[in-house]
Structure 1
Amino acid sequence: MSNPLRGLARNPALPAAAMLRLAGDDRVSRWDLTARPAWSDEAFDTLAAHPDPEVREALAQSPGATGEQRARLAGDLSIRVLQAVLEGPPVRWAGPLPDWVYRRFAEHPEPLVRDLLVYLPGTPRDVVALLARDRHPGIADAARALLDRKPCEPTTMGRDQAVLFAAEGSDWDRERAAADPALPAEWVAALATDPSPRVRLAVSTRPELTEAQRAAIDYPTDVTPPLDWVLACGPAELDRCVRSGHPALRRAAAGHPDLPADLLAVLTADPDPRVRELLCAHQAHAPGDLVLDTYLATGDEDLLRHPAFPRTDLARLAPDPAPIARALVARDPAAPPDLIHRLSRDPSEVVRAAMAADPRLPRERLLELLDDPVTAEAAAANPALPARVVARLLADLGVR
């Protein structure tokens, strides 16, 4: 059963006064209140001034807010709100914070705020350099250690420990040994035929192996281990990983922060669907068609926020047999109103709900969908909902 109050909370046309009334209603969570896909500056600023820090904390992590809007909370007096500003929305492809926010936090009088910056993945390196001179010794030491860390430097347990784990350890210990750079070659060869599939997989992803050596190992392909050495490797080694017959290396390469356009093109055509999924998850310049196809195959809603997700030519999906595809028609600004109207009567609840939030719907059809318990929440989020209907709905639902 849908909840019209949740729909009203994310309606971009909801007046500020009504939004504040909803903020005080126990039936609407602070996350419902901040779940709208986009914010006007007026609406954002209204909630940014709310006296409840939990509301402001949720606002700081709203997926629909831009980085510039979230930056307006950088002067908040609540440490939890500041932490939420730094952590950002719990989704991929959220708009980044402006650099000045990090510099401002680096000068914050509260050590906890400055300490958060050191361990935040998005903190610019020049800000970490500022923190390396922090008056708090612990913060300065941590920042210097981060600056001194070499990105390609592997960690190792040492030869003796690696051999001990390989010879006498549990499956988990042998798996650790199999991936350790200090493990001698004879033990690498021995673990390549280990009874544990995960141990054999760890051996097969060692950087020094040739393609022939990898292919000779019976490793599982349904597991994707984290391969830090791939993410940190240089151009020549990255090229080798992209063209490897080992899917785990290609999957790791899909997340490389400096993947060049030519290698991105190679992975776009990769036969492994997991490689293509990871490419869309990590690469802002992945082709739009690939992002769309991956969304239709996986239903991963984070991909709807991908910078390359198509914003046009989605009306062509109206005849598609998959409801998840037909629902995308509402995202096409060129979709004709009569098509939106027709799809609002689609047999799929998913499709009808997507059309219910579209302002191109005829008013009479919108009101019908508002009266339908299945689509009431989506219809309540429609910015074309008349003000008198919004007022009546708030009164009927007992919002004071």
Structure 2
Amino acid sequence: MTAFHESALDGVARNPALPTPLLMRLLAFEGGGAGPLRHAIGRAGLPEPAVAVILAHPNPRARIEFAMSARSEPAQRARLAEDPSAKVRAALAYGPEWYDPRTTVAPLPDAVCARLLDDRDASVRAALLDSPHLAPSFVASTAVHPDPAARRIGVRAWDVLAPRERSALLADPDPEVRRAAALRECRRDTHLTSELLRDPKSEAEALRRGLLDIADAERRIAGRTHLADLAGNPSLPAHLVERLAADPDEAVRLAVSLRPELPETRRMAIDVTVGALAGEDVEWVRDGLADPDVLRRAATSAHPLLRRAAARSPHLPPGLLGLLARVEDPVVDARMAVHHPDTPEEVLMRVYARLGGTFSAWMAETHPRFPREGLAARYADHPDGNYRRLAVRDPAATPALIERLSHDPAVWTRQAAAGDPRLPLHRLREALHVPELASSAGANQALPADEMEAVLDRAGVPA
């Protein structure tokens, strides 16, 4: 298959109007490149006959693609748990590698995860424990698993574990499990914190989160050991907080400036400089992205890093969302555009103007608030092709305009027009044979079924 034929086939595989018989024909195809196969397998709402074809596909790559599809139902993917290929089972165990951050990937059923955790192949077990898509109930269940690697994962569920389970993990025969458990419990235990401070592997984290003995804190300050970690510790006494607020190391002063209990006037009096694109993680904000009080304190602060941390939350209420939109901070704008479904249009357009390229195209296609009306009048003749392609999004754009834009000097604009159902049929058929437009034209919902069938024929997909 030539690259041109593969490009057209790639588009047809993504076409929402692809008839089921052609979809089944494409799914059964063993040849071709990864693109067409991946796009056909990754479609949402695959009918059961199509799922059956994929599950029995002789090409393991097809089964791997389905195992990692974010659009397939977990119960459908779960049927690969007994697949003969360890690579397929490992792909299933890990799950989708990319997904829209505004949506959640549904986890596999706990029983299927338990089966994969006991898989005979170590790569499958490791992939499962590394997965970002595990259900909280399954994570908690691993706290009593015979494998210490699983019990280390179970420690993540510390706050919901029964007291006897916590005690068992604190006394676990595996030193890594004991350390992980102690780092959770040390938030309320000065003795455990002191023990962890003597271990180089856990010292920094214990200083960040442990319940500190004042003598331990003063020794670290005197020895200038991990001061930036110490500066954020919630149990650090106020007089030591004040001492570190004037520390000569700016990283230490910055950590102090991010403490949650500081009054705003005191926070902003600390001498720190925050870079224009800096976005350090702020743990108490990250852990409270659904907490109205945390969001209010962070979003209304004058501290750039707190505002940037709050901008990650999809739960910002309208008032705080509007407040952050008026800041016009590029990091705040980008984070709201990625994470919040109600990001104001003016913010989305600022991000589009600033970043351009693939990210802006993704945002324009997927964000529910990205503007549509009036774009043709504003941008059809814009000197920048990145803006001219926005004209295609306008519901009022005429077929004549879409056809004109399908000849635009900018390839992304031509591709956007080639994929629009308003493109006149004669030009759509023509675009299907233009190398850089074939994929977009193939994905066009207005493409007649006989043209889709012809693409499969030319690509050598057996009938």
Secondary structure of the structure 2 residue equivalent to 1:50: coil
In 2, the alpha carbon distance for the partners of 1:282 and 1:381 equals 27
1:6 is aligned to 2:13: no
Are the counterparts in 2 of residues 357 and 382 from structure 1 also a CA contact under 8 Å? Answer: yes
CA RMSD of aligned residues (A): 4.1
Q: Among residues 248, 271, 281, which one is paired with 2:328 in the alignment?
A: 271
Aligned to 2:435: 373
Q: Which runs of 5+ in 2 are unaligned?
A: 161-183, 188-207
The higher radius of gyration belongs to: 2
In 2, the alpha carbon distance for the partners of 1:8 and 1:196 equals 58
Are the counterparts in 1 of residues 308 and 332 from structure 2 also a CA contact under 8 Å? Answer: yes
Q: Deviations over 1:289-333 (max 9, x none)?
A: 544543443342553464524485254554344433332444455
Aligned to 2:100: 92
In 1, the alpha carbon distance for the partners of 2:259 and 2:313 equals 17
Percent of pairs identical after alignment?
30
Superposed, 1:41-56 pairs within 5 Å as 41-42=46-47, 45=51, 46-56=53-63
Superposed, 1:25-36 pairs within 5 Å as 25=32, 28-29=33-34, 33-35=37-39
TM-superposed CA distance for 1:81, in Å, is: 4.5
**Is the alpha carbon distance of 1:306 and 1:289 closer, same or farther for their aligned partners in structure 2, counting shifts above 3 Å?**
farther
Give the paired residue count: 389
Q: Deviations over 1:68-126 (max 9, x none)?
A: 3x542121124654654563351324754557x43443553753689977775554445
**Is the alpha carbon distance of 1:156 and 1:164 closer, same or farther for their aligned partners in structure 2, counting shifts above 3 Å?**
same
Query: Higher mean Cα deviation, 268-277 or 116-125?
Result: 116-125
Are the counterparts in 2 of residues 344 and 352 from structure 1 also a CA contact under 8 Å? Answer: yes
In 1, the alpha carbon distance for the partners of 2:220 and 2:286 equals 26
Are the counterparts in 1 of residues 9 and 455 from structure 2 also a CA contact under 8 Å? Answer: no
Amino acid at match of 2:9: L
**Is the alpha carbon distance of 1:231 and 1:194 closer, same or farther for their aligned partners in structure 2, counting shifts above 3 Å?**
same
Amino acid at match of 2:157: L
Aligned to 2:112: 105
1:155 is aligned to 2:209: yes
In 2, the alpha carbon distance for the partners of 1:316 and 1:55 equals 44
Superposed, 1:166-185 pairs within 5 Å as 166-169=221-224, 173-183=226-236, 185=238
Are the counterparts in 2 of residues 162 and 180 from structure 1 also a CA contact under 8 Å? Answer: no
Are the counterparts in 1 of residues 295 and 310 from structure 2 also a CA contact under 8 Å? Answer: yes
Amino acid at match of 1:276: D
TM-superposed CA distance for 1:354, in Å, is: 1.2
Aligned to 1:146: 157
**Is the alpha carbon distance of 1:168 and 1:135 closer, same or farther for their aligned partners in structure 2, counting shifts above 3 Å?**
closer
Query: Higher mean Cα deviation, 85-94 or 390-399?
Result: 390-399
Query: Higher mean Cα deviation, 238-247 or 283-292?
Result: 283-292
Aligned to 1:202: 255
**Is the alpha carbon distance of 1:197 and 1:50 closer, same or farther for their aligned partners in structure 2, counting shifts above 3 Å?**
farther
Amino acid at match of 2:60: P
Superposed, 1:269-308 pairs within 5 Å as 269-287=326-344, 290-291=347-348, 293-299=350-356, 300=359, 301-304=361-364, 306=366, 308=368
Secondary structure of the structure 2 residue equivalent to 1:262: helix
Are the counterparts in 2 of residues 317 and 328 from structure 1 also a CA contact under 8 Å? Answer: no
Under a length normalisation based on structure 2, what TM-score does the superposition of the two structures give? 0.68
Are the counterparts in 1 of residues 139 and 153 from structure 2 also a CA contact under 8 Å? Answer: no
**Is the alpha carbon distance of 1:280 and 1:327 closer, same or farther for their aligned partners in structure 2, counting shifts above 3 Å?**
same
Amino acid at match of 1:348: A
Q: Which runs of 5+ in 1 are unaligned?
A: none
Under a length normalisation based on structure 1, what TM-score does the superposition of the two structures give? 0.77
In 2, the alpha carbon distance for the partners of 1:198 and 1:133 equals 36
Secondary structure of the structure 1 residue equivalent to 2:115: coil
